[in-house]
Amino acid sequence: MFVFLALPALLAIPVWVIAVVVKFISVALPGRRADWSLDLVRWCAVMAAAAAVGLYVLGLGAVQLSEHESQSGVSSSPAPSCRDAVDDSTLQHLVGRRTSYVPLRFDCVLDDGTTYPSSSGYAWLNGLTAAFGVTAGALVVTAGFVTERRARRAHTERAGV
């Protein structure tokens, strides 16, 4: 199921990049509203969250695709992802696979119980997803602080006048 969701997520990435570039160009141009900074922080938080969700959906699709490839077909054992990741001497010791959705990974299991990742791409997806998620959270907190500071400033200005 996530494989089908990964395709729209893959197509949404260029749209996301274009939106980010256009927004940053609009910030650099003159003629902004006075309260543009709070809107920009909120917009960046939403875009960072969208990037985290999009990357995670792409990773889910990749894990499910690897899982599907290893369960069906004539050459499904050992898993094609595991075969492509190592040389022939290691293939003789390959006995299975492990999948995980949190964190994203598709590991290959050897006969001595050790594992190796089928792709280094999952580490990148996990890292980028976490980075965008933490960035989105930090921006939400920042937007809250900015809103609270503006409210305090407005309150003191009203009280002082």
Non-local (6+) Cβ contacts of 37 within 8 A are 146
Task: Give the tokens for residue 12.
Answer: 């949404």
Question: Over the stretch 18-65, which tens digit does the pLDDT of each residue have?
Answer: 998 998 888 888 887 777 888 888 999 999 999 999 999 888 888 888
pTM (two decimals): 0.81
